[in-house]
Structure 1
Amino acid sequence: MEAQNQQQASTAEIAKKEPTQSERFMAKVVSEFGSSVGEVALTDFQKRLAQNYFISIDGILRSTEEKRIKKSEQYRDPLPVTWANVNMEKLARDVVAMARIGFDPGQPNHINPIPFKNNNTGKYDITFIEGYRGLELKATKYGLDVPDHIIVELVYSTDTFKPIKRDLNNKYEGYEFNINNPFDRGTIVGGFYYHSYSNAPEKNKLVIMTIKDIEKRKPDHASPEFWGGEKDKWEKGKKVGKETVEGWYEQMCRKTVFRAAFSDITIDSQKIDDDYLRLKQMESEYDVAEVEREIKENGNKDIIDITPRGEEDASAGMASEHASDDVPTTAPQPGGDEVLF
């Protein structure tokens, strides 16, 4: 009995010394901060960001592993989606770059982690996809000529919208926009965004998008939970037909116009730093991983179905371009221009 107690005490002591996943993660991030900025100590803000990244990644790993286990053995990847199988060196470098840009996974629609299996390393790489608020942050920080205000609106069939283009009679671009029936605006016919410069109105810019333009930007993997439409209906593990889902069509249309508005800001080459280059590299890696996923999905079906954990809905499907800004926390309010910054 005494020997058994001693063994249990020894096991408990070893377990106590074994660093937790959170401690391992923080140690890697601290080390990477130290190698990149010349000092190991993190500010309180950087520590909070690192904790937010750990919590966010831990959540997506857990949900993805649950989905892996639920798959039949025939289609299940043998490698568990756990911290032990994550490429920690790459993750630490990426987290440092994202944190220094200012992306905070604790904020809605900033940045979203997505795990992909790297067959070359036998590990899972965590890539990051910026949400529409993250896109705003990046454009504001690295933009060449950032507008003072950016206005984004959808136009409905009962609204009155008149664009004013710059010509001999008008010094500046502008528009007239009236919401005639705020509680029943009809169907969406398009949208627009407006770049406004307070001290240089001659640079004001109006871009109009028809509903066709908006829907052309709908991601190939858009989920019915977001854009609406039909999806497979399952009962007791068997597909029994189709069901119609209402989704969040209006919000998705608005976010599409929003993304176009900030993507239209030219990046200033003089502001590009190592963190921005790292971000572009991750975007490229994500594109490559998506192509590989497509090949596997349409080939032998032997693939882990990776679903990103959106800020508002962890169980809905991936919508490629909108991976991290799918279901909004609050619906856009009808009426009035929204000044974003």
Structure 2
Amino acid sequence: MPYPTQLSSYCWLLLFSLLLIPLNVAAKVNAVKIVDGLEHPWSMVFLPDGEILVSERSGQLRRIQHGKLHPKAITGLPHINENGQGGLLGLALHPQFASNRWVYFAYAGQDEETGFSTHLARGHYQDGVLSDVQALFAAKPKSFGERHFGGRIAFDRAGDLYLTLGDRGDQDEAQNLASHHGSLIRLHDDGRIPADNPFVNTPNALPEIWNYGHRNMQGIAIHPQTGSVWTHEHGPQGGDEVNIERAGANYGWPVISYGEEYGGGVIGAGITEQPDMKKPVLYWTPSIAPSGMTFYTGDTYPGWQGSLLVGALKDKLISRITLDGDRYVSEERLLEDVVGRIRDIQQAPDGYLYVLTDETQGALYRLELQ
């Protein structure tokens, strides 16, 4: 046992050593309201001049300038059908937006005889006006269902475009390559089908399909290091998933699932894995109802770089997921039940994270550390 003088020196050395050990202390985050009065906002994009565009599910595209919501909606959009979960959905800017001004948007389009499906279009944007609007894609078949439109958009490093789709409430169609339901779509920026899409030469398969077997993808992001496409999707009662998207892969819905039917009951084969089907990076049971997703690449929030940020509707929170490469490490839950149902979360060019709340009087918030 050390003598008293030795003990004092030993204690100071131990204390100094402990100060050098990084502590995993949960972040304290404030949500600072920027604007409210948005009608079920769904997606947002940040323009180079600081303007923010926000889609409202009811069919309006709104603009926020200098922290204020412009009283007039952007003009020039096609007719948009608000139908259950459908309406004006995801937004994305062309990678060369600063020079070409292309804004991409997903929405519920209708055929009076056959119903609704998720459509994709683009238009030139300038000073509150969308012009030269071009239809690029319409999912088929259409149906009169009100569920699972998907609708998130992202561009990869090569400049190709991805659009997430849901199964439209028809589970088995997610395994049918002759249907767009439950698939991830890949297109060139002008809507052309890439020649190397995996099912271009497959008889009876729809050539836009990049992969399939999804339930309802409502988050998409490009990994900042690998460039791979990541998505998340709603499970049924439990079984929300985060997936890395691979060309031609089958993600299993509804054959394999970590969830169950609403009210109970087995889905598909009642199993969680099958050799020819992809398993998720992580899943949530019970469900958090994920919506919106981004990888954090800034330095505004110390220790967050490389984190995957996911918003949640049902659990009204932000999930910050730490990864080791493609492997899940841990989850930290933030702002639980503070601002309401979170529909989207995105990183702005200034390094701050912003969230949209899915409410009749929805709002845009900026996240700040306390």
> With structure 2 as the length reference, what TM-score do the two structures score?
0.23
Please state which structure has a larger fraction of its residues in helix: 1
Q: Identify the structure with bigger relative contact order (alpha carbons < 8 Å, sequence gap 6+).
A: 1
> With structure 1 as the length reference, what TM-score do the two structures score?
0.25
Say which one has the larger Rg.
1
